[in-house]
Amino acid sequence: DAKTTQPTSMDCAEGRAANLPCNHSTISGNEYVYWYRQIHSQGPQYIIHGLKNNETNEMASLIITEDRKSSTLILPHATLRDTAVYYCIVRDSHGSSNTGKLIFGQGTTLQVKP
Amino acid sequence: DVKVTQSSRYLVKRTGEKVFLECVQDMDHENMFWYRQDPGLGLRLIYFSYDVKMKEKGDIPEGYSVSREKKERFSLILESASTNQTSMYLCASRSQGTDTQYFGPGTRLTVL
C-alpha cells in the first residue's frame, strides 16, 4: 500500500468547513483513497473513499487531484462532534495484502472549536 | 445502518485469567478482524477470518486465539492474560470483495 502524509494537527471553527489534506505521491493506478476517523475512545469510523473522481456522501466530500498524488477531505460544516483523528489510507481494492488489514498512520488530529 | 457490537466497553482482568472478547455484526459480512491499538503503535492485526470456521493469523497472534462458529460472531480469546495485553481491542467486519471495514466501539482491557 502506498504511503500517505498528513499534517499532525489542525483546528477548525465550529460551523466552518474543515479541509484535511493528504499526500500520496506514490499511489498506483488501482489504489483507492480511503478516509476513516476515530473519535476519542471509540472505534474507527469509515467516512468515504474514491479512486479518481470526486466523491460526496452524507458525511463528507473527497476531492482527488487529477494526478491523484494528493486529496482533501472536506467536512462542510464542522461541529464539535467532528473532533477526532482523521486517517487517510490508500489501498489496492483487490487486496495487495491478502489479509485486508488496515494500516493507519498517525493521522490528523482535528480540533473543532466553538 | 451497519452495526458491529462488542461484548464489553471496559474490562479488568487479572494475570493468568482466560479472557473472552466477543464481536457480533449484523451485516452478513464474510470477513471479520481483530486488532489491538496501542499509543504510538497504531492498529495491529491479531487474527482475521474469511468465513465461518476459517481463520488466519495476523501480525501479532501470539497469546491469542479466535473462534468463528457462526457468521455473525467472531470471538477473541486470551488463553492466559498478561499485563502486556492491556490494550484497546477493536473488532471489524467487511463484505468479501470490498475494502470498507466497519468497526465496533472497542473494548479497553486492563490486565492487572
pLDDT in tens, B30-40: 999 999 999 88
Label residue B79 by pLDDT band (50, 70, 90). Answer: very high
Check residue B110 and give its pLDDT. Answer: 97
Name the minimum distance, in Å, from the CA of A103 to any CA of chain B: 6
Contact residues on chain A for B10, CB-CB shorter than 8 A = none
Contact state of A49 with B106 under an 8 Å Cβ cutoff: no
Check residue B40 and give its pLDDT. Answer: 84
* B48 → closest Cβ in A34, A49, A99: A99
Chain A interface disruption, residue of B99, B107, B110, most A CBs within 10 A = B99
Parts of chain A with a pLDDT under 70: 1-2, 93-99
CA distance B112 to B94: 33
Q: Is the pLDDT of residue B1 over 90?
A: no
Average pLDDT value for residue range B92-103 = 88
Whether the Cβ atoms of residue A90 and residue A1 lie closer than 8 Å to each other: yes
Contact residues on chain B for A93, CB-CB shorter than 8 A = 99
CA distance A73 to A50: 11
Contact residues on chain B for A45, CB-CB shorter than 8 A = 103
CA distance A27 to B84: 36
Residue B108 forms beta bridges with which residues?
B10, B88
* B103 → closest Cβ in A45, A93, A105: A45
Name the minimum distance, in Å, from the CA of B17 to any CA of chain A: 25
* A99 → closest Cβ in B56, B90, B108: B56
Label residue B47 by pLDDT band (50, 70, 90). Answer: very high
CA torsion A97→A102→A108→A110, rounded to 10°?
150
Q: Report which of residues A100 and B72 the model is more confident about.
A: B72
Check residue A30 and give its pLDDT. Answer: 84
Whether the Cβ atoms of residue B108 and residue B11 lie closer than 8 Å to each other: yes
Contact state of A44 with B59 under an 8 Å Cβ cutoff: no
Distances (CA, A) of A5 to A41, A78, A81, A96, B111: 24, 22, 24, 20, 35
Whether the Cβ atoms of residue B40 and residue B54 lie closer than 8 Å to each other: no
Residue of B nearest to A44 (CA): B103
pLDDT > 90: percent of chain B = 85
Which three three-digit cell numbers place residue A72? 482533501
Average pLDDT value for residue range B98-102 = 87
> Per-residue pLDDT tens for A71-80?
999 999 999 9
CA distance A10 to A14: 13
Contact state of A46 with B45 under an 8 Å Cβ cutoff: no
Residue B81 forms beta bridges with which residues?
none
Label residue B61 by pLDDT band (50, 70, 90). Answer: very high
* B102 → closest Cβ in A32, A46, A91: A46
